[in-house]
Homo-oligomer: A and B are copies of this chain.
Amino acid sequence: MKIDTPARPRPRGRPREFDELKALDQAMLVFWRLGYEGASVADLTGAMGITAPSLYAAFGSKEGLYRRVLERYQTGPGAYTWTALTEEPTARGAIERVLRESARVFTRRKHPHGCMISTAVLRCAEAHQPVADLVASLRTSAVELFRERIARGIEAGELPPGTDASAMARYHGAILQGMSVQAQDGASEAELLGLVDVAMRAWGGGAGRPRAR
């Protein structure tokens, strides 16, 4: 038997001519580079290779498209954060890995520098406040992930029982957000890694992992 897409019979009418995921990836690059307010629908449709009516039929609105892009960012370019936090055996190792991988990812040339969420929609017109609130909640969620990982590290005895997990989480969140700002301002991977070296001193006990300097 020949089944090209299992449980997915060809839909009724004229088939869509563009790949929704590829279009989302192109839209992501535009939003990433220009920001939510700075990206016009014309910019988006141009990069996505579709017309405005197609965009609105598929995503509802510019805001709807942005929300879809944010979801895709989290499971795509931004997924390394969640991966590092769950894979590494210690809290310190997990967070250090997030920071060091961020130094590399934030300065890649295949996409705009910096994190798409850390430095997105900070100030905006009142009409776009719902979008700003959403992005802000994504940032606070990331800090909360840090806090949970550190709290588990405390329970595991990696850190002194009196450690302030919230303060530690906000601290590393700030480092990440600051790295994103500086990556956008032109900092290199090496410069960001040097910053991380300093940042990890807050964990005490000398250098985190021995690195050639």
Contacts of A167 in B (CB 8 A): 191, 194-195, 197-198
Within 8 Å by CB of A139, from B40, B114, B181, lies: B181
Secondary structure at the A interface, as helix, strand, loop or mixed, is helix
Q: Which residues of B contact A122 (CB under 8 A)?
A: 35, 114, 119, 122, 181, 184
Name the one of B123, B199, B202 contacting A33, with C-beta atoms under 8 angstroms. Answer: B123
Partner of A194, one of B124, B170, B178: B170
Shortest distance in angstroms between A64's beta carbon and chain B's nearest beta carbon?
19
Q: Given A122-B119, A164-B194, A168-B198, A38–B182 Cβ distance below 8 Å?
A: no
- Counted per complex, copies of this chain come to 2
CB contact list, A167-187 vs B, under 8 A: 167-168, 170-171, 173-179, 181-182, 184-187
CA distance A124 to B181 in the complex (A): 14
Residues B198 and A202 in contact, CB atoms below 8 Å apart: yes
Interface set of A (CB-CB < 8 Å, partner B): 32-35, 37-40, 112, 114, 118-120, 122-126, 128, 136, 139-140, 143, 164, 166-168, 170-171, 173-179, 181-182, 184-187, 191-192, 194-195, 197-199, 201-202, 204
